[in-house]
Amino acid sequence: MSTHSIPVIAIDGPTASGKGTVAHRVADKLGFHYLDSGALYRLTALSALRRGTDLADEHALAKLAEHLPCSFTGGNVILSHENVSDAIRAELVGNTASKIAALPSVRHALVGLQLGFRKAPGLVADGRDMGTVIFPHAPLKVFLTASVAARAERRYKQLIDKGIPANMEDLLMDLQARDDRDTHRAIAPLVPAEGAHVLDTSHMNADQAVDEVLKWYAAAMKS
């Protein structure tokens, strides 16, 4: 099977829209591989913060991204043999990731890494430019969204459940700022891909969203 014939479901959307949970469950249901592309930017951000890399040094950040020793194993995110699944979800790491994701050299450095996840029998990739840039010919492209209030509430619950202090007002402001940055950046702005199905999950649970994506995929495979 050639790489281009391996099916891809590209799921894009803003922070805390639920795309990670939905993408992971869809991958499990179909027996596909899973790519959390946002984690790659968060891993780059975490590495930069830990190393004290100058966040204004685009070249240094790109070199860091290019040689990222990472893997996804059993639902965990591994960096140099360390499970950093929780560490990369910290708000500082998320904010830093959003900023460096706007840098062309960093995005370019991570393209090859992302394309390498396309393996048989298929891939579910979630992020912000999976359907627009990385996998523009994916047979199914989904743009998962939700209101800022719904997303802030989800993020608040995630953080509190993990024992991480959180403030709802701060989360709302952070999400609004991140949305503005992601949608207005010059390189690969956050927008629905051409032909993408838009799914608003503000009033849906994860199971309902997964069922909708699976229906769309089944229909796409028949056409």
pLDDT digits (tens, 9 = 90+) for 99-140: 898 899 999 999 988 998 899 999 999 998 999 999 999 999
List domains and CATH numbers for the chain: 7-210 (3.40.50.300)
How many whole angstroms from its chain centre is CA 196?
A: 16
Q: Which residues contact 168 (CB under 8 A, 6 or more apart)?
A: 152, 153, 156
- CA–CA dist 94, 101 (Å, integer): 10
- CA–CA dist 169, 83 (Å, integer): 30
State the pLDDT confidence band at 182, using cuts at 50, 70 and 90: confident
In the annotated binding site, the residues are: 13-21
Smallest CA-to-CA distance from 96 within 64, 67, 74, 73 is with 64
pTM value is 0.86
The DSSP bridge pattern shows strands 82-83 and 76-79 to be: antiparallel
The arithmetic mean of pLDDT across residues 195-211, rounded, is 96
In the annotated binding site for ATP, the residues are: 13-21
* Neighbour-count burial of 114, counting CB atoms closer than 10 A to its CB (0-12 exposed, 13-18 middle, 19+ buried): buried
pLDDT digits (tens, 9 = 90+) for 4-54: 789 999 999 998 899 999 999 999 999 999 999 989 999 999 999 999 999
Q: What is the mean pLDDT of the chain?
A: 92
Give the residues across from 142 on adjacent strands.
11, 197
Query: Percent of the chain, pLDDT > 70?
Result: 99
